[in-house]
Amino acid sequence: NAEPITEDAVKWLYIHAASRWGLDKEPYSSRLKWAEGNLQMLRDVGRDPIGNMLWTDASEPWSFVRACMEISRLHTEGDKFHTCMPVSMDATNQGLQLYSMVLRDPVAAHATNVTPSDMPQDVYRQVANSVRKKLYEDDNSYGKKWLEFGIDRKTTKRQTMTLCYGSTFFSCRTYTADWFYDEIKSGCVNPFGDETYKPCNYLAEKIWESIGEVVQSAQVGMDWLRQCAALFTQHAVTPRWRTPLGFPVKMYYENTSKYSIKTLVGGRLRQHRLRIPNGAVNKRKTVNAICPNWIHSLDGLGGLLGHTVNLAHRYGVDSIMPTHDCISVLATQADVMHRSVREATVELFSKNQLEILAAQLESQLPLGVSLPSLPNTGKLHISDVLTSKYYFN
């Protein structure tokens, strides 16, 4: 439902346009300044996107050109203008944010914008910086060549991003090699000649170490969750728990058996192979799945997103478009949504969610069987998120 534009809403329209252009890692003030300095370009693109194709250079071209159209209408219609375009606010790797809060890790919280800072923090860039430092300090011939090749946030993004969803060193090595092969395909010269496996494995080790230093709480929390899941499989118990808003979760993965089906189709013999659940628990899937499943219990409609939507609705926001860890509302409601997601975070994570989970899991185990000891927690104050401008930005 379109709403009349306000002065604050114009600011959020401009910030949204700059973010979609590719300035989402810059402070709000820089984004606003860029939009105001390029206002003529924004209006020209919005008025005639076919005749002015500059929008194709944007980081997110379709979202950017839509923002240009909205800004063009704003300046054409003036006081009569009603905005109907959602502007977005994104979490900084929400899984890592949640682990940092659950385990009260101030280092990981700072790296993922949970705590206040003057600039938006970029956890992928921080991991890349740590990797470069390790390569520089290590007396290894691969290190110097990797530094010359170039290590940036793109090098470490996928490995860091997928950590909280259960990735391991094996997947870290795979993603590192994938990044390297993509760079070679794009025209970069392989500095290692015909070698690929050993250099990529060496770099993956440095990336894995750096991830552990920047977001240690995620690895610690995931190790504990996997130990719990392994304990459940040993005793043939299906793990169950409730999300913060009370949604029930049952985590059950079955093994499958192979069956061959042969049939005649149009006079020709066709053979297909099917996998049918056989009733036996798949231990590997259970252990690997508990980390992403629990994180999504915390971040989805059963947790932070649901609580945020409820709070925002109480404050008068009735149009919300969520996409995973991105929440979009009209520019006129952006301030209220920023407030809602931060207040919801404090209300949910001031409670010890790991202790709550442990109590639910332990009650399901046979008599005399106990969960592993809970990991130690740090000294993060969850209330700091209330003043963090870039927690969702």
| Distance between CA atoms of residues 129 and 132, nearest Å | 5
Q: Are the CB atoms for 264 and 280 separated by under 8 Å?
A: no
Quickly count: other Cβ atoms within 10 Å of residue 29's Cβ. 10
Residues 226-273 pLDDT 10s: 999 999 999 999 999 999 999 999 999 999 999 999 998 888 999 999
Count Cβ atoms within 10 A of the Cβ of residue 379 and give its class: 0-12 exposed, 13-18 middle, 19 or more buried. exposed
Q: Are the CB atoms for 259 and 307 separated by under 8 Å?
A: no
Count Cβ atoms within 10 A of the Cβ of residue 261 and give its class: 0-12 exposed, 13-18 middle, 19 or more buried. exposed
pTM: 0.88
Q: Are the CB atoms for 99 and 164 separated by under 8 Å?
A: yes
Q: Phi, psi (5° rounding) for residue 240?
A: -135, 150
**Tell me, what's the pLDDT at 127?**
95
Residues 314-349 pLDDT 10s: 999 989 999 988 999 999 999 999 999 999 999 999
CB under 8 Å to 230, separation ≥6 — which residues?
283, 287
**Tell me, what's the pLDDT at 163?**
87
**Tell me, what's the pLDDT at 79?**
87
Helix, strand, coil shares of the chain, percent, nearest 5, are 60, 15, 30
**Tell me, what's the pLDDT at 222?**
92
CB under 8 Å to 66, separation ≥6 — which residues?
85
Beta bridge partners of 86: 330
Count Cβ atoms within 10 A of the Cβ of residue 326 and give its class: 0-12 exposed, 13-18 middle, 19 or more buried. middle
Strand, coil or helix: 89: strand
Q: Are the CB atoms for 270 and 262 separated by under 8 Å?
A: yes
Give pLDDT < 70 ranges for the chain.
none
Would you give the DSSP letter of residue 20? I
**Tell me, what's the pLDDT at 168?**
85
